Amino acid sequence: MRAAAFPVLTACLLCLNQASAENFVTVRAWADPQYASEKAGNGKTRKESYIIAKGEYFEGTCRDPSIEKASFDGIVQLLSKSLARQQYYPARNAASADQIIVVHWGMTIPYVNEYEQQAIENPTSYDPHLADFAVAGQTMDTASSAVASQAGSQQSVERDIFNGQQQGAINLAMDIDKMAHTMSANSAAGLLGYTSQLAREGQKLMPTEVARTLMANLHEDRYFVIIQAWDFQKLSHDHKKKLLWTARMSMRAPGMNFRLALPRMGRVASDYFGKSNDQVVTAEFQPAREGRVDIGPVRILGEVSSAQLNK
């Protein structure tokens, strides 16, 4: 009986370790020093308002309906609770917003289509897309010229039609769009915020436990969310982009689903919203403790008439 109990106990411990690992979140945050100082001035966190812009979605290599079917509105609703913990609240209207928050999300192991995979394995392989362009090269060039000419004419018409205020709104929308689509060239380490710390760890004589942990994270599929907060007033009035703070949070995807992972990531990362941490923080999500009250048998001590209550 004792010999049989050992493997059972080992299996249980492995299950507990795996379950515990699923609750660990990594966070890397940065904030402009002046902004961080003003945000926490006088020992009290300053309230600020925001509007939300949709960033990039990074599709994973494995099918995961929990993130594929997640709506951006649903993501914003879950993140808004974490933002409120650091006194960030939705603006009453866009014009009054202090910040515009861009949200990127996805999985770290990207989807690669068959043509991209073939190009990686054999760079000289046949590419049907390139073949089509070679056959119809002259037609493609002609079409491109026509499109470019049409686009130039359209821009000229827009400049003539829109006045300064309307053109300013268009420029603002274009600036927001550019900010929301700047992440695709980043590596997994860059998306998770590991790059600088891995570089520092690599300069040490012996591999550290931190380096091993971060590298292990890079070799597993992870859910991640990146929040970038920009100065909206400076953007809307001066058309100048100033990044105020950013937070990168991630959690292992195997054994988890995105709807459960998102509030856990947000809860851990919210402690660093609007702040800087030079080191990548790994913290375990701790569910809120709920109190329980047990009511025993009710004893009736007597009755009170309405006349007595009105005295």
Q: Do the domain assignments include residue 223?
A: yes
Q: Do the domain assignments include residue 310?
A: no
| Model pLDDT, residue 23 | 83
Number of other CB atoms surrounding residue 189 within 10 Å: 18
3 state SS for the chain: CHHHHHHHHHHHHHHHHHHHHCCEEEEEEEECHHHHHHHCHHHCCCCEEEEEEEEEEECECCCCHHHHCCCHHHHHHHHHHHHHCCCEEECCCHHHCCEEEEEEEEECCECCCHHHHHHHHCCCCCCHHHHHHHHCHHHHHHHHHHHHHHHHHHHHHHHHHCCHHHHHHHHHHHHHHHHHCCCCCCCHHHHHCCHHHHHHHHCCCCCCHHHHHHHHHHCCCEEEEEEEEEEHHHHHHHCCCCEEEEEEEEEECCCCCHHHHHHHHHHHHHHHCCCCCCCCEEEECCCCCCCCCCCCCCCCCCCCCHHHHCC
Asked whether the predicted pLDDT for residue 102 surpasses 80, the reply is yes
Per-residue pLDDT tens over the stretch 184-231:
667 889 999 999 999 999 898 888 999 999 999 999 999 999 999 999
| Model pLDDT, residue 165 | 47
Q: Strand 222-231 and strand 243-252: pairing?
A: antiparallel
- What is the domain extent for residue 49? 22-109+183-287
Tokens 């359209």 label which residue? 154
Q: Do the domain assignments include residue 171?
A: no
Q: Do the domain assignments include residue 99?
A: yes
Q: Do the domain assignments include residue 62?
A: yes
Per-residue pLDDT tens over the stretch 150-186:
334 334 433 433 344 455 666 777 777 776 676 666 7
Asked whether the predicted pLDDT for residue 149 surpasses 70, the reply is no
Separation between Cα atoms, residue 233 and residue 138, nearest integer Å: 48
The residues, ordered by sequence, that sit 6+ positions from 195 with a Cβ below 8 Å of its Cβ are: 187, 189
Token readout for 154 is: 């359209």
Asked whether the predicted pLDDT for residue 17 surpasses 50, the reply is no
| Cβ atoms of 29 and 269 closer than 8 Å | yes
Smallest CA-to-CA distance from 251 within 39, 67, 43, 73 is with 67
Q: Do the domain assignments include residue 220?
A: yes
Smallest CA-to-CA distance from 83 within 293, 253, 247 is with 247
Share of the chain above pLDDT 70, in %: 63
Token readout for 25 is: 């979140």
Q: Do the domain assignments include residue 149?
A: no
| Model pLDDT, residue 43 | 76
Helices 209-218 & 195-202 angle (0-180, nearest 10): 140
Domain count, the chain: 1
Q: Do the domain assignments include residue 296?
A: no
The CATH number of the domain where 235 resides is what?
A: 3.30.160
